[in-house]
């Protein structure tokens, strides 16, 4: 049987491991934490912000891939936590989060992903909705003391806000939508437009719905951010099933496709 996680040209296939569900926890009204054990987890190397691709059963008997960020890994116990958003639109990821029971297993490929902390940056700007929240919290918690960070995070309900264990010098803005997630989040777009960049070279991490990421990225570029100061990835989009959207200029995309051909 061909691997469900084939490599890309010039890239080796992602390592695959079996995760066993240890326990589940209702984290907030719209998030469930699933904690897994698995062979080799105690020594798993990854960078905060990276994700795993879970291979989840679909209704038609086939399997689908869904990206989920590693929220935390306790190396002493080998327990790995993933926070699943209950977005209310169905889908194998949401279904798994709601129905999986301790002892159930899932195949996971990775870790993967390039949206990780830029250690060269003088300050950091994180922009996310619920799907980017696990990655933003993991990245914030990894920043050393005195590093300047700004985070703008949109959630559905005030009770979807979470506590974090960060030591950096953080300004954290929670934007409460008061309803389900929609594309082109005006709340996040306007909030970022009001942000005054600090002296030095900052780095922005945009981890939310695709059209919101596109609009915010364009705005930051227009305000003088260089492309390499922005990590931009569409974490979901209406009608998309799984996957991830790299947000880049058409010229950059064409060059990348040509390099792959």
Contact residues for ligand FAD, defined by CB under 6 A: 51, 66-69, 82-85, 87, 89-94, 113, 131, 134, 181, 233, 235-236, 238-242, 244
Burial of 138: CB neighbours in 10 Å, binned 0-12, 13-18, 19+: buried
Q: At closest approach, how far in Å is the CB of 9 from ligand FAD?
A: 21
Position with the least CB separation from ligand FAD:
91
Q: At closest approach, how far in Å is the CB of 199 from ligand FAD?
A: 31
Whole-angstrom distance, CA of residue 152 vs CA of residue 175: 7
Q: Are 30 and 160 in contact (CB under 8 A)?
A: yes
Name which of 101 and 196 has its Cβ closer to ligand FAD: 101
Name which of 85 and 216 has its Cβ closer to ligand FAD: 85
Name which of 181 and 232 has its Cβ closer to ligand FAD: 181
Q: Are 90 and 146 in contact (CB under 8 A)?
A: no
Q: At closest approach, how far in Å is the CB of 145 from ligand FAD?
A: 26
> Tokens standing for 261?
């051909």
Q: Where are the alpha helices (DSSP H) in 44-132?
A: 92-99
- Is the link from the previous residue into 111 a cis peptide, with omega within 30 of 0? yes
Name which of 44 and 148 has its Cβ closer to ligand FAD: 44
């Amino acid at each position: 049987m061909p691997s469900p996680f084939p490599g890309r040209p010039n890239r080796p296939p992602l390592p695959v491991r079996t995760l066993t569900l240890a326990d589940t926890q209702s984290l907030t009204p719209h998030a469930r934490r699933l904690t897994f054990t698995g062979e080799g987890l105690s020594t798993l190397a990854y960078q905060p912000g990276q994700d795993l691709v879970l291979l989840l059963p679909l209704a038609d008997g086939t399997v689908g891939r869904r990206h989920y960020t590693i929220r935390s890994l306790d190396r002493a116990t080998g327990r790995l936590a993933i926070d699943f958003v209950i977005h209310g639109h169905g889908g194998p990821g949401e279904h798994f989060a709601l129905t999986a029971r301790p002892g159930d297993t899932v195949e996971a490929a990775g870790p993967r992903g390039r949206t990780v902390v830029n250690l060269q940056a003088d300050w950091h700007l994180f922009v996310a909705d619920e799907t980017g929240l696990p990655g933003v919290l993991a990245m914030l918690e990894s920043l050393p003391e005195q590093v300047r960070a700004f985070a703008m995070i949109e959630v559905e309900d005030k009770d979807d806000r979470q506590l974090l264990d960060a030591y950096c010098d953080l300004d954290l803005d929670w934007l409460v939508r008061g309803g389900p997630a929609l594309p082109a989040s005006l709340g996040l777009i306007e909030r970022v437009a009001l942000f005054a960049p600090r002296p030095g070279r900052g780095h922005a991490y945009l981890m939310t719905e695709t059209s919101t990421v596109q609009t915010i990225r364009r705005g930051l570029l227009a305000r003088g951010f260089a492309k390499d100061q922005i990590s931009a990835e569409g974490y979901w989009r209406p009608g998309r099933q799984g996957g991830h959207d790299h947000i880049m200029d058409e010229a950059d995309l064409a060059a990348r496709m040509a390099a792959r051909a």
